[in-house]
Amino acid sequence: MKICIIGLGSIGGYLAFRLAQAGRDVCAVARGATLQSVQQHGLLLSHVDAPEQLSSVPLTVSDSPAQLGPQDLVIVALKTTALDALPSLIGPLLGPQTRVMWAMNGVPYWLMKGLDARWRDIRLEATDPGGRLEAAIDPGRIIACVAHMAASCPQPGHVVQAFGDRFIIGEPGGAQTERLAAVSQALSVPGVGLEVSDAIEEAIWLKLWGNMTMNPVSALTGATLDRILDEPMVRRFVSAAMLEATAIGDRIGLSVGMTPEDRHAITRKLGAVRTSMLQDVQAGRAIELDALTASVSELGLRIGIETPNIDALLGLTRLFDAIRTQRLKQGA
């Protein structure tokens, strides 16, 4: 199977490394410093507990998708803030039977397609402004992926794994198909804890359920997960927002099956973790607020469920990000 990865950040870079290490036919689309680093030094991987143990694998990379040509599987692992470029990037990689594995945070543009018929025509502007993604990538091509791991990229082309290597994949709608089996076989390599799910939308919603609150709160405060949950008033606010998302999920058929306190207990065990949004703030990068939080607020509005706590968090974080962006442009 010919595999191409778009996005050599922490998730895409980790998958690319493990696939290349296992001898799979894998390449990647990369630009700028990442392209130059991988061409010169290979793709690098280390672990946060052993930074001196740096491993490298050669990887075919190009800033020209046309040069790489049609693939059997394209793995999209971009930050959602970079999605505007995806329609023009992915076209040359798509053949008639190409599958597209969506390995990204937040509400994906195709999520509603696998749900009850009454929800399938909902398109969220926060997720797919103007419908450009759906026009470029037929939802029928999608294989979904939920990544449960913590990693970072301190330098372009260098992934540092903190913990976890769990990847859940599935067909939207839950079918068990030959193409899903083929993708599963291709991704079954050492270092990738692969699971196949017949309820991938529920797995997406469950991960989002925590991310939509903890990420923005961490961005606003600069706090790690443990400190957020150790502040009682903030914990109550986060729980209230999560209950609003629970009501949305229940309405569209995506039950989380636990209480906010159940989830907090799991999250608390992770310790002093910096969320991906906090990492982006500290690095001066754009944040994934639309995919993680604005999408849930918009969905609540579309299906008639009020979300005052989610909306308050969204508004505060938008204001914070606007001021932050202004200061970055001014060089402050």
- Each residue of 30-49: pLDDT tens digit? 999 999 999 999 999 999 99
Structure tokens, 135: 């026009």
Asked if residue 239 has pLDDT above 80, the reply is yes
Residue 17's identity, in one-letter code, is: F
Predicted local distance difference test score (pLDDT) of residue 166: 96
One of 3.40.30.10, 1.10.1040.10, 3.90.15.10, 3.40.50.620 is the CATH number of 202-330, namely 1.10.1040.10
CATH domain 2-198 topology: Rossmann fold (3.40.50)
Mean predicted confidence (pLDDT) in 303-311: 97
Q: Has residue 153 got a pLDDT over 80?
A: yes
What does R_g of the chain's alpha carbons equal in angstroms?
19
Closest to 48 measured CA to CA, from 150, 149, 161 = 161
The count of other CB atoms within 10 Å of the CB of residue 331 is 5
Mean pLDDT rounded to a whole number for the chain: 95
79 labelled catalytic: no
> Coil, strand or helix: which one is 305?
coil
Which candidate in 2, 207, 269, 329 is catalytic? 207
Q: What are the DSSP E strand ranges found in the chain?
A: 2-6, 25-29, 43-47, 50-57, 60-62, 71-76, 94-102, 142-155, 158-170, 193-196
**Mean pLDDT comparison of 115-124, 262-271, 293-302, highest-scoring range:** 293-302
pLDDT band at 332 (very low <50, low <70, confident <90, very high): low
- Contact criterion met (CB below 8 Å) for 26 and 4: yes
Decide: 137 and 100 in contact? Cβ < 8 Å: yes
Q: Is the dihedral of CA 300, 302, 305, 306 positive or negative?
A: positive
Does this model's pTM top 0.85?
Answer: yes
Please state the domain extents for the chain: 2-198, 202-330
- Which H or E run contains 319? helix 308-330
- pLDDT tens-digit map of 45-78: 999 999 889 999 999 999 999 999 999 999 999 9
**Alpha carbons 157 and 30: distance in angstroms, whole number:** 9
Q: What is the percentage of the chain residues whose pLDDT exceeds 90?
A: 92
